[in-house]
Amino acid sequence: MDYTQITDAQHEEMLSIIGIDHVDRLFDVIPESIRCQEGLDLSPPQSELELQRSLTEMASHNVGAHNMVCFMGCGAYDHFYPALIDQLISRGEFLTSYTPYQAEASQGTLQAFFEFQTQIAQVTGLEIANSSLYDGATAVAEAAILAVNTTRRHTVLVASTMHPEYLAVLRTCLADLHVNITMLTATNGKVLPETVREEMSDDIAAVIVQSPNIWGQIEDWDGCFEVTHEDAKTLAVAVFNPIACGLLKTPGECGADLAAGEGQPLGNALNFGGPYLGLLAAKEKFVRKMPGRLVGMTKDEDGRRVFCLTLQTREQHIRGAKATSNVCTNQGLIALRASMFMTTVGREGLTEVASHCWHKAHYLAEQITAIDGWELTFDGDFFNEFTVNCPVDVTHIVDSGKERGVLVGVAANGRRMRKLSEGNELIIAVTEKRTRHEMDALVSLLKELST
Q: How do beta strands 180-184 and 128-129 pair?
A: unpaired
pLDDT band at 165 (very low <50, low <70, confident <90, very high): very high
Distance CA 151, CA 203 (A): 9
Greater pLDDT, 212 or 272:
212
Q: Could you count the other beta carbons within 10 Å of the beta carbon of residue 207? A: 29
Give the global pTM.
0.89
CA-to-CA separations, 291 to 11, 52, 148, 168, 169, in angstroms, rounded: 47, 44, 13, 20, 16
Percent of the residues in the chain that have a pLDDT greater than 70, as a whole number: 95
Q: What is the full DSSP assignment across 239-289?
A: EE-TTGGGTSPPTTTTT-SEEEEE-TTTT---GGG-S--EEEEE-GGGGGG
SS (H, E, C) 122-180: HHHCCCEECCCECCHHHHHHHHHHHHHHHHCCCEEEEECCCCHHHHHHHHHHHCCCCCE
pLDDT for 417 equals 86
Domains 69-80+347-449 and 83-341 share a fold: no
327 has pLDDT over 90: no
Q: Is the pLDDT of residue 379 over 90?
A: yes
State the Cα–Cα distance between residues 107 and 308, nearest whole angstrom.
Answer: 8
pLDDT digits (tens, 9 = 90+) for 411-421: 999 988 888 88
Predicted local confidence at residue 1, as pLDDT: 43
Written out in words, the top-level CATH class of the domain with range 69-80+347-449 is alpha beta
In whole angstroms, what separates CA 347 from the centre of its chain? Answer: 22
Q: pLDDT: is 62 or 104 the higher one?
A: 62
CA–CA separation, 237 vs 209, rounded Å?
A: 6
- For residue 221, the model assigns a pLDDT of 98
Using CA atoms, how far residue 326 sits from 56, 121, 322, in Å, is 41, 23, 10
Per-domain boundaries in the chain: 69-80+347-449, 83-341
- The rounded mean pLDDT for the chain is 93
Find the range with the poorest average confidence among 103-107, 114-118, 190-194, 432-436: 103-107
On the 0-12 / 13-18 / 19+ scale of CB atoms within 10 A, 160 is middle
- How far, in Å, CA of 299 to CA of 225, rounded? 39
β partners of residue 366: none
Write down the CATH number for the domain with range 83-341. Answer: 3.40.640.10
| Residue 271, phi-psi category: left (phi > 0), alpha (psi -120 to 50), beta (remainder) | left
Supply the pLDDT for residue 108. 86
Tens digit of pLDDT for each residue in 229-265?
999 999 999 999 999 999 999 999 999 999 999 999 9
- d(CA 137, CA 120) in angstroms, rounded, equals 17
pLDDT digits (tens, 9 = 90+) for 88-139: 999 888 887 655 555 557 888 889 999 999 999 999 999 999 999 999 999 9
383, 248 Cβ separation under 8 angstroms: yes
Position 434 confidence tier, pLDDT thresholds 50, 70, 90: very high
Distances (CA, A) of 128 to 286, 288, 304: 9, 11, 23
Quick count: other Cβ atoms within 10 Å of Cβ 84?
11
Tens of pLDDT, residue by residue over 68-83, are 999 999 999 999 999 9
Please report the pLDDT score of residue 314 as a whole number. Answer: 53
How many other CB atoms sit within 10 Å of the CB of residue 10?
Answer: 10
Q: Identify residue 29 by its one-letter amino acid code.
A: V
